[in-house]
Chains A and B, each alone.
Chain A
Amino acid sequence: MKHHDWLGLKVELPRKRQLQLTILSFLAPMAVWCAISYVPWLWHPLYRVTDPGSVDYFIEDMDVKRADFEHELAKARAAGTALPQGYLTNPIYLPAPHKVLRAFYYAFKTPPRLPNEPWLHQSLGHSIRTIFLGFVVSSVFGLPLGILCGTYRFFAKLQEPFIEFFRYLPAPAFGALCVAVLGIDDPPKIAIIFIGTFFQQVLVIANTVRKVDPGLLEAAQTLGASGWKLVRRVIIPASITDVYTDMRILLGWAWTYLIVAEVVGTMSGITYFINQQARYRNFDNVYAAIAMIGIIGFSTDLFLAWLGTVLFPWKRKSRSAQNKRAWFAWLRPKMAEPIVQTIEPVEDKPEIKLHVTQ
């Protein structure tokens, strides 16, 4: 295989290779993890004691440092007393892959230890609800404001300097304030996600909307569009695909604010679950829960990417685009049924008078 086939500068790789690399990007870290977990002479700094033997401070299932264990083993051997038994292991905070995999199943099956604690699926549901509400509330205000700022210099100059300032204030800093104002339950958490998302959202979307090709606006103007029609029929549809991509990225950012938001007030959601499991030293459950966040975020994004190709058929490369109707029907007026037509040669057309002759 030729070298430049894989490492061409700015050359699009064939689909098959893209897929191979995607799989590899997940497999490579997994392979490292497996190697550390299953190859005994890689790392494994501890001994798990299975039989304390004659060592008085060893107890069963205790983890001791490799050097200490070997020292005690040598001492027992020299003294001729019962030998301690054990096997090499990694620290408890690095469980083996199969344990985490098993935890994916058992974490959902394990009933909570305390009567009023939520199950894992309830914790996840709570987190998703918090994210969703925070993001929706942010978008309800941020999307129109961003489009307004991107369209009219007036609003840009009126809003953006303050927003620019505000976005440097870290959202977690408002935690105590939010609790004081909104109580200890969900509202302050939603507020934190709102604060973390909203200001970025306005600026990012305004910037995207500003990038609309001015040629399209001029073309629309020469066709008789003006004012609000220009916004609705040109600026919004021209920027909608890029705004949609922005929203996907912003949703990813909202997830990073989730953990902060959930420790505000009473700890809740997936953060609470992770915290409790870490306290019980169920680290396999901790990993499973963290991975769950990744899986939910990643699959949401994949879904939204696919949804994008359905919503915006003109962004599709294939010819099949013509058959699929965009879902954003409000951008286009309702269609009448196509009229059956005959195609005449150009020459046979009568002269077309555009105007009544004076």
Chain B
Amino acid sequence: MSLSELKLPDYREQSPDVSARFERIRKRPIILKVRELKKSFGSNGNTHIVFDHVSLDVHRREFICVVGPSGCGKSTFIRIVAGLDEATSGEILLDGRAVAGPGSDRGMVFQGYTLFPWLTVKRNVMFGLQMHGKALDTAEAEARQWLDMVGLAKFENLYPHELSGGMKQRVAIARALANGPRILIMDEPFAALDAQTRCQMQAYLMQIWKKVDVTILFITHDLDEAAYLADRILVMSCNPGRVAEFIENPVPRPRSAEQFISPEFLALKKRLEEHIHPPVEVPEKLPMIKLTEAGDEVE
């Protein structure tokens, strides 16, 4: 039986708990407001539009996942939010103020670990605090607190090259959060990790997000990951990049691994699959080319 034949609820159907939660979220202040954002590369005559007409509102302490086909401009979009790139047109308001350039109100976690190899784990976490002129002992105490939260207190004196990929990414999260950002921007942070570590990291991230007052903008190409983590999922389409749909995740919280086979989860996943992998026409009969003289015929 294929997924399309499976009897699933509509992905927009929400249980009373879930819709009450979204009701509460909608009442929270809007922290990030994006209006008609457009980004193109190249000069006149030969421009390549990466995305345009991107508008969205993100409420405080929401967990937003961004999914979309590779190359649709997800990274470009959040780099603009982070202030590392400039938009061609449109505006981004963070807490009502337009963003210009990188700032510590937006923390960033990259796919490549980008820890400073010459600093110990603790020093890495202290980096942003020191940039803001915090006294050393305060910075150190705060860094310890954050390392404690990501479960790395014991490793504070190691150098990054002595850590595993998952540990490095936890340090990167601690380093970003130590700065007290309004939103935490993560660009495929777990994509380079093995499946088991990735699950662990997702659980860690959920815990951290529960305890810390921070809004998360999380890019992924892993649909399961998006469905597991997000409050709302921003689906982008390609060429040029547009917001295809902004889906409210119907899977109730708290989330757990069992929900991977719940009807809501499957309905959501099916919807995401339709966006990301539109049905491909495969001809019924493909011409067969025999390359070997093997006797056993393949069905």
Contacts and interface: CB of A to CB of B under 8 A. Distances in A.
B114 A215 contact: yes
Contacts of A343: 148, 153-154
Contact of A215 (B104, B112, B123, B157): B112
Contacts of A354: 177, 180-182, 212-214
Interface in B116-131: 116-120, 123, 127-128, 130-131
B38 to A, nearest CB: 22
B contact residues, range: 35 or more
A229 interface: yes
B180 A355 contact: yes
Interface string B19-40: 0000000000100000000000
Interface in B148-164: 148-151, 153-154, 157-162
A216 B116 contact: yes
B106 interface: yes
A243 to B, nearest CB: 12
B136 A314 contact: no
B116 A333 contact: no
Interface stretch (A80-88, A155-163, A275-283, A344-352): A344-352
A336 interface: yes
Contacts of A319: 158, 162
A8 interface: no
B192 interface: no
Interface of B: 29, 82-84, 101-104, 106-108, 110, 112, 114-120, 123, 127-128, 130-132, 136-137, 140-141, 144, 148-151, 153-154, 157-162, 175-177, 179-182, 207, 211-214
24 contacts: A215-B110, A215-B112, A218-B84, A218-B108, A219-B108, A219-B110, A223-B131, A223-B179, A224-B103, A224-B104, A224-B179, A240-B118, A312-B118, A314-B117, A319-B158, A319-B162, A331-B118, A334-B136, A336-B137, A346-B151, A346-B207, A349-B211, A353-B213, A355-B180
Given A224-B103, A346-B150, 4 more contacts: A223-B128, A314-B160, A319-B162, A343-B154
Interface of A: 213, 215-216, 218-225, 229, 233-234, 237-238, 240, 312-314, 319, 321-322, 326, 331-336, 339, 341, 343-344, 346-347, 349-355, 357-358
8 nearest A-B residue pairs (beta carbon): A223-B128, A224-B104, A222-B108, A219-B114, A221-B102, A224-B131, A314-B159, A354-B180
